[in-house]
Amino acid sequence: MDPLIRGAPLVDPQRMRAGRPSSDPSPRAPEARAPRAPGGAPERSLWRARLARLARLVRLVRLVRLVRLARPASLGLWCALGLAVGCAGPRAEWNLAPLVSRHSAAGGDAEVEALGGMLLSRRDAFSGERNYWAVRPLVSNRIEPDGDRLTWFLRPFGFAREDAAQNSNVAQLVPIARYAERELDSGYVEWSLLVLPGLYWGSKEDGSVQRVFFPLGGIAERFFGFDRIQFVLFPLWLRTERHGRTTDHFPFPFFSYGRGAGGSSWRAWPLAGRVAWEGRYLRRFFLWPFIHVQSNELQRPPSEHQHTWMVWPLFGRARRGEARVTTVLWPFFGHTTDPDTGFWAWDAPWPLIVFQGGDPNRGRRERVWPFYSRYEGDGLIVYWHPFPIVSRRHETYSDGVSRSFAVYPFWRSTNRTLTGTAAPPKGEGPGEGVGSAPLPRPGVERWRKLWPLFRWRSGPSGSHAATPDLNPFQELDFLDEHYAWLWELYSRTTTVSTLRTRSWLGLWRRERDADEDRRALSALWSARDYTRAGRDVSERSWLFGLVRYRVTEGEGWRMLRPAFPGPGWPLQRVPRSTLPPPAALPGGTAQ
């Protein structure tokens, strides 16, 4: 027998379509069951089958030589060969970046990306439900594990939010429109609609009215801090009601008269006015804005009453108990003293030169703008030298300490030490919901940004780096999510057990987790490493999935069926059958 025929690792296409290699002895293979009688019909059939395989191999070799000779048309020939031999299945990866790609992300989620990252869709690895989609930068939609939904459109101007726990929905497009609704425990749905420049409509369970067609007319109850607002042909007539007092304006803001609780008030602007509430305040003006006389906080003890007067902008005085405030050429020059607390302040002139201090419960400030500025108070110490270019900050929080340094707009750095002792907001602690937020992990969070070259962040939960970074702001994740794909040449994100890297337009991608490590260079090359039955397995795909092979530890090398357009790896990852490396264990550092 010809040794070439006897030992050639040939592939039977019929058997491959049935899901078995030609060397697999199966009950369906008649030549595997036929007796090998000398000169018999079964032996001749076996010889004819082997000769047919040899003929197919010869035709394949000729086709490869033809492709090598016809280089300009090689891509089309390879595609035709792939279509003739096999295609990737509906649950398999394929990569034609930057046009379109479907891949298994680190962690198991299935992603589809198209047009270099403009279109993006993600499905949960366990439920298979789509939890994110986007047409960037126009619109994006995210579903959180607790059922909340957040949709952004024309970000940052428009968004829609559904709160599953509160049974509420809010949608707005700044500054044009806003709609909100909330289902109460009684089952009643309260809603409101605001459309600028003049429509406000709503419904509440208590029967309050919200119907406004500005400036023609309208009625709004419990709106903007007032109990009731009415107007007709604004500003010709306006009526406001609050805390038992009714005030009519005709027209606003020139003439007004108030009556009811607290006594009466009137205004003939700008000539004179008297606005008072008996036992609370008395405020008068003459020839507004030049002469003002006020008494405030009258419901407090006499030592806490505040009395002020001003001949604007020349001179003004204010006093409360022993505290005194003097203003000259408002707002530029001023002096404040309070012997009871020790507080003092100088403005000379504001805002260029400001000094204040003396009261431990109030902030201490030193400013000689733009050369030097220092503020200390409420757990914050910040230096500017000069303002607003060089800044140093030290902040103390309930869960740690943060230190930062910046040279605007080019360099910013922050180190935040977390103690992990801060309690999460109510309803977000462990065991308080499907999407509950864990307590902060103790450690050090570091953030660096050299604009416009790169940004980098690392911490106990992972790290992220990207270059370049054209976003000039501090940390606005929504800008990076919707716009960074346009300019980022390379990005790298890690968690305690995953690694994701991506190049511009998605031409290069790596998705590694505790189970598998996958890499791809568009349709040209792809790799997949995993374990099966305790053995390391490596798979490679070349040239649109037309050349694919597998190397298994202890078994060697074997060809795989082509899967155009490649790579054809299954979306579902193979669970690791051996202990993962330390970098993939919780608490490790992904490389």
H-assigned helices in 70-108 = 74-85
Q: What confidence score (pLDDT) does residue 164 get?
A: 87
Q: Which two structure tokens, joined as six digits, stand for 121?
A: 């869709």
User: Quick one: pLDDT at residue 526?
Assistant: 95
- The answer on pLDDT for 230 being more than 60 is yes
Beta strands in 262-389 (DSSP E): 265-268, 272-277, 281-286, 291-296, 306-311, 315-320, 323-328, 333-338, 343-347, 353-357, 364-368, 372-377, 380-384
Handedness of CA 20, 23, 26, 30 (dihedral sign): positive
Separation of first and last alpha carbons in the chain: 54
For 147-196, where are the alpha helices, taking DSSP H only?
none
Q: pLDDT by residue (tens digit) across 568-580?
A: 999 989 988 776 5
pTM, rounded to two decimals: 0.71
If one compares 591 and 43, the residue with the highest pLDDT of the two is 43
pLDDT at position 582 = 53
Amino acid identity at 239 = R
Q: For the chain, what percent of residues have pLDDT higher than 90?
A: 62
Q: Is the pLDDT of residue 429 over 80?
A: no
Phi then psi for residue 506, to 5 deg, are 75, 20
> Does residue 370 have a pLDDT over 60?
yes
Q: Domain residues of the chain, as ranges?
A: 3-69, 515-581
CA–CA separation, 443 vs 62, rounded Å?
63
What's the average model confidence in pLDDT over 153-170?
89
Give tens-digit pLDDT for 326-353: 999 999 999 999 999 999 999 999 999 9
Predicted confidence at residue 74, as pLDDT, reads 52
